[in-house]
Structure 1
Amino acid sequence: MRVWWIAFALGVVVLQRQAALPGAGGWTGGAAVLAGCGALLGWSARRRRTRAIVALRWMLCASAACAIGFGYAAARAEWRLRDSLPVEREGRDIVVTGVIRGLPVIDDTGARLLFAVESNDAGLARFPPVIRLSWRTYGAADARDTIPDLRAAQRWRLVVRLKRPHAEANPGVRDSEAAWLAAGIRAIGYVVAPERAELLDACASGWRASIDRLRDALRTRIGDALGGGARHRGIVTALAVGDQSGIGDDDWRVLRNTGTSHLVAISGLHVGLVGAIAAAIVSMVWRRLRWRGRAAALVMPAPYVASLAALTAAAGYAALAGFNVPAQRAWWMIAAGAAAYLAGRSVPTSAVLCAALGGVLLADPWAVLSAGFWLSFGAVAVILMAVAGWRAVRAFDGDDSAPDGAAAVDRRRRLRAWCTRAGRRIAEATRVQYAVTIGLAPLTAAWFAQISVSGPFGNAFAIPWVSSVVTPIVLAGIGLPAPLDACAFRLAHAALEPMMVLLGHLADWPAGVFWLRMPDWPVLALACVGVVWALMPRGWPLRWAAPMTWLPLVAPAPDAPPPGGFRLTVLDVGQGAAVLVETARRTLLFDAGPGAESTHAGTRIVAPSLRARGIRTVDSLVLSHADADHAGGAEAVYAAAEVRQLLAGIAPQHRLWRDAQAAGVADRLPCTAGQRWTWDGVAFTMLWPPRVAGAGPSNERSCVLRIDAGGTSALLTGDIEARAERRLVAGSRDALAAQILVVPHHGSRTSSVEPFLDSVGPRVAVFPVGYRNRFGHPHRTVLARYEARGIPLPRTDCDGAVRFDVAPAGGGFAFERYRDAQRRYWMDR
């Protein structure tokens, strides 16, 4: 069974790495593989049982399971993609009736919610069953004052404007399109006319609606009990109902840096804990219960009843978590273990884990696209490997009790035995923590580009504290009536405070987090092999050499351009701009993308992109001008990396200068035409604005930067418009020539005049624009000017991030589009 489910999972993983779903030829090939495996299995069944025949059978079973996993995931994906919003319906007003699913998130910018559609007026027989909506009102200081009281499982009739699930696509950044596909979200949009929204009287029914209402009610009870001033209210809510939206940025920073963020989700640890508590209570009661004069344990053995109680309680708590992947994994393990116990079979824990693996992937084949899947199953697998050699030690512990007979009972000997057992238990726990830290290091590096050095220390006290103290108190609060529930929630919050203080000190430890470049898959695979090797029992050949396999992970080979060349990446930040320029030893970031006042692209995209590249120092940050879509993400950049210099085309009294000073940027200068410097053989020249820029619009003061290396030039233009372009042509025509052009002002109608394009003469022009942006960029007339030149015109909304590799000494350049290089079947174009 273990080989079957592992091979099935491998097939699912392979499908999720495909650029396109299989066509008729693929399905025919899969059927042929299954038929061939069946025929060979039938032939081998008639042969004499030898080692070769047994090995062949295992290989055939694994191949068949892999093909079935691939086909199953492909069929599920094909069916789900059919629910996508048709292209011709994008941007149109549609009246939908449906139910709020899950917990709506409401903050000072508006509300975000999932909406299960029941009917629509678009006349579509196959409409997206679940859509993601934003509900915003403009003109209010706090949107919460004007948005209605949105509750889970309410039925509404809304006017919405939708688009296909299209997200930004960048290397090293979370794939939101994959997450939407896994959640069944096949359209996203916003409520067009909030005043026309109609709350319907009929409430939703069914088990899902009942669970959502319960979760919403519990969240409200916790909020009322703790009030708005409770700093860790979001953590208490997360432990109760799995809603992490209320956790503050400071708490997230502490939890991430100390490797304890898994504790604030209803994870497998918590689900297993609830199951164990329920089993213990029910078993204790059942052993003392009598029915018709007979002991209840004689009617049905107490362990059987305890198994069913554990399964039921774990299912209820997993439902409160929204059935996230770690909670599913824990429930399936409990279910498999309970089924084996009720059937009277002894099943290895590894087989239970593999059965849980199959159950999770049968329910959700897209689970492999989430970090929670790999970290949850990886942690359990590592723990099983780490404790595999402890059976002898535990058996020895069992013989450590004092001898029978009153004469043999000696206090000193009993104390010594107790201390010995306690020491062994602490050693076991330490080994588990060491194993989990080492075992998950490659996965955390692959998903988050970091390894938490302080994680073992933080988890050493945080795991038992949250599991033994905080979570049971939260569970008590869920079950107690008012006002006792409020007392329990306040007590849980009080118990969190000292733990968060200690974790805060660990998070501030400069060496607490080891940042590294996001590894390529060969490096990751080698590190995982090294982990398995290191966790083998003592005496395993060359076990001492296992850490050598981690060297490419922790000390990767240089990936910087050669001296005299540079790499330029136009990041896909939606409607905004951020361009990363790397030389052999230096880094420049031209604009930082939108900030918190818009799409949070600085936090969501720019900062993770820097971390994924292993960039901890930005030698120069250039903010072309003060518009939020270019400079809004600066604060996120300051938090993610050390910025040594700021060059900006902004007014002297603008707050961005003060923000840079507060962030510790020592060198702060305005952009001025004529500024020049050279890094690693690459020349940088500022062409605009002039020394006396005047008081015109901020776009006219945008910095324009030229980069030269080996006969290839790139021109970064910010948001300059026709007037600045003509002045540049008049004063710096010869300096404008460049092979690579980042199009001015996203291709707006008031930019990219013909004389400017003639002077630049680009061979590639990149449009940094957002998908279906409200400005209509790029304008069709401007796009026609570029198309008339017959050059490649990559666009970030269609192609994702665009990367240029410029070779030194006349070697030319090459470029790639992220959506082509890392194509997946769910990616929208």
Structure 2
Amino acid sequence: MSYSLSRLSLWMIIAALPLCWLRALPDTAAIQLLLGLTALLLLTRQRWLREAALVLLLFIWAVIPAKTLLQQTAFLSGTPVEAVVGVEQLQPQSQRVKIRIESVAEKRLFPPVYALIAIPGTQTFCPGQHWRMKLRLRPVHARLNEGGFDAQRFALAVSTPLTGRALTWQIVDSRCGWREKVMQKSRDYFAALPWHSVILALTFGERSELSSETKALLRETGTAHLMAISGMHIGLAASVGWLIARIFQPCFRASWIEYRFPLFSGIALALIYCWLSGGSPPALRAIVALLSWSLLRLKGRNCSGWQVWRLCIGAILFFDPLSILSDSLWLSAVAVAGLLLWYQWFPLSGRFIGKKRWLPLQLLHLQTGLFLLLMPLQIFIFHGVSVSALLANLWAVPLVTLLTVPLILGAVLSLPVASLSQLLWWAADRSLALVFYPLRQLPDGWLTVSQQALWLSPVCLLLLFAWRFHWWRSSPFTLASLCLALLCWRLHVRQPEWRMDMLDIGHGLAVVISQRGNAVVYDTGNRWAGGDAASSQIIPWLRWQGISVQHIILSHGHLDHIGGLESLQQAFPAAKIHSDLGVSGHLPCYQGQNWRWQTLNFQVLWPERPQKEHGNNQSCVIRVTDGKWRVLLTGDIETPAELQLVRRYGEALRAEVLQVPHHGSGTSSSPPLLRRVAARAALASAARYSAWKLPAERIITRYLKNNYAWYDTAVEGQISVEFSKDNWRVLSLRAQIMPRWYHQWFGVTRYSS
């Protein structure tokens, strides 16, 4: 039985989709069972059963690379390994090198695995070199919070599941790659130009030198996609190659003039551009799509736009099933599908097509379609949308695609002619100045959207299609019922009376007590060079939840508890700050301080009086209660302070939920405290790769022996406790909120050497 490529591609897409939401990958026995079922279905005569068998077979094909990657991750992260690696990319800002692990213990590793390692010592590396290294690797383990960047999913999507360091290193081949040589030669020409960092990003895909101001501008205007070499850039390179071939074709003999020469020229220039970009995943996916389309052209197949779209996406997923986890693939696929849909169902009037004077209107029509149809996906991925993106892209996209990128390609191809290359680099720089000047004049356009408003996106799309197909005339009551159903569904989502969320911020502490869209934040996490926990984790979470901060409590003065205070104050300047740090403007936080917030009572139990020192045992201990359920927040108190609390309060320390003192350190969580509190759940904020090996294993055992249910952010990710009138429950991101196979704990166990 024969099947069309378009149909097979659709099945490939369907077969790969479960990788996005599977809780766990099927084990070997399950795969064998699926293979047996596939064989039985193929023996049947019903066509739909045979098609189901092919979908199952393609699903197994998609699962195998995921299982292989996890097996390689576990193998490479167990103990130090001797490996031959190739240098792929330097990341000077983070002082890391991306390497390709090609062989381990003289055995070829297929497919190769990528890892990010710290630059060892003062050693100099360049892409293209090969080294023999002894590596200590560990699996990527992301901080997982709702509304945050899913670094673990991203790492698996780009087959870079490992980080670590080199213990020893020895050069095997010191020669730098040709791409590095071309890059250095090009930089000699454009390094002094004002927009050199953007040129570097557009030419070689190296965005590490983009300033924070430029990144913020691109984000605010919705033009960041222009700086990432992807399908649009590769397609443009192919078009330039085709055009160059067509220009020179009249010089050839008549028998040489045919459609294949321009086609191959376009493919060649696209491959060169992909190579210049370092073979980034979006560029490689674009090459697969281009080759698929070119194959159709060479075969003389006449396919519709939707058939070509299915074939390209199916081919990408067939060769790289894990790319289904990539946000960039989703954005590209939905953008192309959206354009097909837009021009099919919302075409521009015929009198505006084919006439140059209506080109601005045609561009506006195109950008409007992209803006409207991509908006729901952008909100879901980025938790916001740029309202100035329509105008910004209307200006920037034509200039970058039709002027800047062709100039850059010309500059690279003319590198042997120094004067011409320098002129073209200068022209590319001036074109970028022309692009960015109007963008800087636009007002801040980024609009943050919470998950409560996410449902508005499908309503807007529903109204758009209702207008296009005149449903408001033909079926007004059906349309109104659909909108009302969406509204009622959102209004009847059951909400807890109040909740407590311990965010996964690595080493540090950040607890959010929230009710009715407002919150009290207990500690603000750590700070490091170039960032802090508040800007990277806490604030995105608060924005996504639609929560405003009214109070900030600082338990004590250690950096891992106050590091994000400045960022949190900037985001919520009206928030009141409670601490025992003696800072002007801070409300006191010592024994005897009580206040009521919403329906909750906050009672400070410790320290006894204002302290001159601000160490662990001076942590501000607070009991939060609604009159029935109680939460005890303990900061970093250690055994001496714990024993004094027990002597002073005794049975009054009882609570349902206990924040584990000092991240589960062996100097805290004394047995008397655990017995007096007698909570049912213990929540610890900890990092998987803690330098102090926290939480201590004996402390976890102590809690379990005292009948506590143990939760920690290293294992669970974000931990949420929801309180209602009659009961309460604990939810963790990895186990209940967003259980996915790519969110799980990979590789060695916590206490493994």
- TM-score, normalising length from structure 1? 0.80
* Residue pairs, 1:410-489, within 5 angstroms: 421-422=355-356, 424-481=358-415, 482=418, 484-489=420-425
Paired position in structure 2 for 1:100: 87
- Cα offset, 1:285, TM superposition: 0.2
* Residue pairs, 1:20-31, within 5 angstroms: 20-23=24-27, 26-27=30-31, 30-31=34-35
- Whole-angstrom CA distance in 2 between matches of 1:250 and 1:346: 47
- Whole-angstrom CA distance in 2 between matches of 1:528 and 1:99: 49
| Contact 2:91 2:97 (8 Å CA) reproduced | yes
SS at match of 1:607: helix
Match of 1:717 among 623, 634, 648: 634
Paired position in structure 1 for 2:154: 179
Specify the code of the residue in structure 1 equivalent to 2:91.
Answer: V
| Contact 2:271 2:287 (8 Å CA) reproduced | yes
Specify the code of the residue in structure 2 equivalent to 1:431.
Answer: H
In structure 2, do the counterparts of structure 1 residues 816 and 424 end up closer, same or farther at CA, with 3 Å as the change threshold? same
Match of 1:759 among 661, 670, 676: 676
| Contact 2:603 2:623 (8 Å CA) reproduced | yes
- Cα offset, 1:461, TM superposition: 0.6
In structure 2, do the counterparts of structure 1 residues 125 and 365 end up closer, same or farther at CA, with 3 Å as the change threshold? closer
* Residue pairs, 1:303-382, within 5 angstroms: 303-382=259-338
Paired position in structure 1 for 2:74: 85
Structure 1 window deviating more from structure 2 (240-249 vs 373-382): it is 240-249
- Whole-angstrom CA distance in 1 between matches of 2:429 and 2:650: 65
- Whole-angstrom CA distance in 1 between matches of 2:466 and 2:528: 44
In structure 2, do the counterparts of structure 1 residues 165 and 124 end up closer, same or farther at CA, with 3 Å as the change threshold? farther
Paired position in structure 2 for 1:496: 432
- Whole-angstrom CA distance in 2 between matches of 1:558 and 1:600: 35
Answering whether residue 726 of structure 2 is matched by residue 824 of structure 1, we say no
Paired position in structure 1 for 2:11: 7
Paired position in structure 1 for 2:751: none
| Contact 1:271 1:327 (8 Å CA) reproduced | yes
SS at match of 1:185: coil
Paired position in structure 1 for 2:543: 611
Specify the code of the residue in structure 1 equivalent to 2:130.
Answer: R
| Contact 1:578 1:590 (8 Å CA) reproduced | yes
- Whole-angstrom CA distance in 2 between matches of 1:329 and 1:25: 32
What does the per-residue CA deviation read over 1:164-186, in whole Å, with 9 as the maximum and x for residues that have no partner? 33222322333322222233334
- Whole-angstrom CA distance in 2 between matches of 1:468 and 1:442: 28
Answering whether residue 143 of structure 2 is matched by residue 168 of structure 1, we say yes
| Contact 1:686 1:706 (8 Å CA) reproduced | yes
- Cα offset, 1:324, TM superposition: 4.2
Where does the alignment leave 5 or more consecutive residues of structure 2 unmatched? 747-753
* Residue pairs, 1:256-295, within 5 angstroms: 256-289=219-252, 295=253
Answering whether residue 744 of structure 2 is matched by residue 814 of structure 1, we say no
- Whole-angstrom CA distance in 2 between matches of 1:350 and 1:125: 40
In structure 2, do the counterparts of structure 1 residues 502 and 587 end up closer, same or farther at CA, with 3 Å as the change threshold? farther
* Residue pairs, 1:31-70, within 5 angstroms: 31=35, 34-35=38-39, 38=42, 42-43=45-46, 63-70=52-59
Specify the code of the residue in structure 2 equivalent to 1:15.
Answer: L
- Whole-angstrom CA distance in 2 between matches of 1:803 and 1:765: 12
Answering whether residue 519 of structure 2 is matched by residue 587 of structure 1, we say yes
- Cα offset, 1:120, TM superposition: 4.8
Answering whether residue 97 of structure 2 is matched by residue 113 of structure 1, we say yes
What does the per-residue CA deviation read over 1:377-405, in whole Å, with 9 as the maximum and x for residues that have no partner? 1111111121226889558856xxxxxxx
| Contact 1:562 1:583 (8 Å CA) reproduced | no
Match of 1:629 among 560, 574, 586: 560
Paired position in structure 2 for 1:299: 256
| Contact 2:274 2:280 (8 Å CA) reproduced | yes
Specify the code of the residue in structure 2 equivalent to 1:701.
Answer: Q
Specify the code of the residue in structure 1 equivalent to 2:141.
Answer: H
Which of the pair has the greater relative contact order for Cα pairs under 8 Å at 6+ separation? Answer: 2
Specify the code of the residue in structure 1 equivalent to 2:518.
Answer: R
In structure 2, do the counterparts of structure 1 residues 783 and 78 end up closer, same or farther at CA, with 3 Å as the change threshold? closer
- Whole-angstrom CA distance in 2 between matches of 1:6 and 1:638: 50
- Cα offset, 1:743, TM superposition: 0.6
Answering whether residue 108 of structure 2 is matched by residue 132 of structure 1, we say no
SS at match of 2:163: strand
| Contact 2:237 2:266 (8 Å CA) reproduced | yes
| Contact 2:632 2:659 (8 Å CA) reproduced | yes
What does the per-residue CA deviation read over 1:283-306, in whole Å, with 9 as the maximum and x for residues that have no partner? 1101222xxxxx1x42341x2211
- Cα offset, 1:539, TM superposition: 7.9
In the comparison of the two structures, how many residue pairs are matched? Answer: 737
- Cα offset, 1:236, TM superposition: 1.9
What does the per-residue CA deviation read over 1:630-681, in whole Å, with 9 as the maximum and x for residues that have no partner? 2223344456x4242242546446xxx8xxxxxxxxx643533333332331
In structure 2, do the counterparts of structure 1 residues 548 and 238 end up closer, same or farther at CA, with 3 Å as the change threshold? farther
- Cα offset, 1:574, TM superposition: 1.6
Paired position in structure 2 for 1:642: 572
What does the per-residue CA deviation read over 1:732-782, in whole Å, with 9 as the maximum and x for residues that have no partner? 445532211111111112212233223322211112111131102122343
- Whole-angstrom CA distance in 1 between matches of 2:271 and 2:146: 37
What does the per-residue CA deviation read over 1:235-256, in whole Å, with 9 as the maximum and x for residues that have no partner? 2211111122222222222212
Paired position in structure 1 for 2:659: 742
- Cα offset, 1:534, TM superposition: 5.8
- Cα offset, 1:454, TM superposition: 1.4
Specify the code of the residue in structure 1 equivalent to 2:97.
Answer: L
In structure 2, do the counterparts of structure 1 residues 518 and 248 end up closer, same or farther at CA, with 3 Å as the change threshold? farther
Considering only aligned residues, what root-mean-square deviation do their CA atoms show, in Å? 3.6
- Cα offset, 1:440, TM superposition: 0.8
Paired position in structure 2 for 1:409: none
What does the per-residue CA deviation read over 1:584-624, in whole Å, with 9 as the maximum and x for residues that have no partner? 23112222222333985444332332232233x32222332
- Whole-angstrom CA distance in 2 between matches of 1:97 and 1:327: 26
- Cα offset, 1:580, TM superposition: 2.0
Paired position in structure 1 for 2:607: 689
- Cα offset, 1:308, TM superposition: 1.3
In structure 2, do the counterparts of structure 1 residues 392 and 181 end up closer, same or farther at CA, with 3 Å as the change threshold? closer
- Cα offset, 1:628, TM superposition: 2.8
Specify the code of the residue in structure 1 equivalent to 2:682.
Answer: A
Specify the code of the residue in structure 2 equivalent to 1:577.
Answer: L
Paired position in structure 2 for 1:155: 130
Specify the code of the residue in structure 1 equivalent to 2:162.
Answer: A
- Whole-angstrom CA distance in 1 between matches of 2:639 and 2:190: 56
| Contact 1:442 1:553 (8 Å CA) reproduced | no
- Whole-angstrom CA distance in 2 between matches of 1:60 and 1:780: 52
What does the per-residue CA deviation read over 1:120-174, in whole Å, with 9 as the maximum and x for residues that have no partner? 56x999799435234267xxxxxxxx63322112223444332233222322333
Where does the alignment leave 5 or more consecutive residues of structure 1 unmatched? 44-56, 138-145, 290-294, 399-420, 658-666
Specify the code of the residue in structure 2 equivalent to 1:817.
Answer: S
Structure 1 window deviating more from structure 2 (148-157 vs 258-267): it is 148-157
Paired position in structure 1 for 2:502: 570
- Cα offset, 1:713, TM superposition: 0.9
SS at match of 1:794: strand
SS at match of 2:201: helix
In structure 2, do the counterparts of structure 1 residues 221 and 676 end up closer, same or farther at CA, with 3 Å as the change threshold? farther
- Whole-angstrom CA distance in 1 between matches of 2:352 and 2:536: 52
SS at match of 2:442: helix
In structure 2, do the counterparts of structure 1 residues 760 and 539 end up closer, same or farther at CA, with 3 Å as the change threshold? closer
SS at match of 1:718: coil
In structure 2, do the counterparts of structure 1 residues 167 and 552 end up closer, same or farther at CA, with 3 Å as the change threshold? farther
Answering whether residue 20 of structure 2 is matched by residue 16 of structure 1, we say yes
Answering whether residue 49 of structure 2 is matched by residue 74 of structure 1, we say no
- Whole-angstrom CA distance in 2 between matches of 1:322 and 1:553: 45
Specify the code of the residue in structure 2 equivalent to 1:67.
Answer: L
